[in-house]
């Protein structure tokens, strides 16, 4: 058996699920919550399995929804590591402002 076969299967499945997630994110017809959670969990496991693989970056560049899943998995350690710095900073500032408004209320 070819030792690269499992990673190619993982990569192929990850691309398929990333495309499905991307389509569901932009669709006017939402999928069910349970289906969405299963899709994201399965994709997250595959992205973990591909960590360090040279093709991972291409997958994440091609499918922003998959990149968001990947980034959210690593947020605790790396912050918004794949987002442009300005967008990351703006998101953090908005989150802080929202937290402060909630505390004041």
The pLDDT of residue 96 is: 86
Q: Is the pLDDT of residue 101 over 70?
A: yes
Domain ranges of the chain: 5-73, 80-105
Confidence band, pLDDT 50/70/90 cuts, at residue 94: confident
41-69 per-residue burial string, b: 16 or more CB within 10 A, e: under 16: eebbebbebbeeeeebeebbeebbbbbbb
The pLDDT of residue 10 is: 92
Q: Is the pLDDT of residue 1 over 70?
A: no
Q: pLDDT tens-digit profile of 48-85?
A: 999 889 899 999 999 999 999 998 887 565 455 555 54
């Amino acid at each position: 058996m070819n030792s690269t076969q499992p990673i190619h299967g993982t990569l192929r499945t990850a691309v398929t699920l990333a495309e499905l997630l991307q389509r569901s994110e932009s669709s006017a017809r939402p999928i069910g919550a349970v289906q969405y959670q299963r899709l994201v969990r399965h994709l997250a496991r595959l992205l973990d399995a591909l960590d360090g693989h040279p093709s991972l970056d291409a997958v994440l560049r091609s499918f922003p929804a998959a990149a968001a899943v990947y980034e959210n998995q690593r947020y605790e350690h790396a912050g918004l590591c794949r987002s442009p710095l300005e967008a990351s900073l703006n998101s953090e500032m908005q989150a802080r402002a929202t937290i402060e408004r909630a505390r004041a209320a």
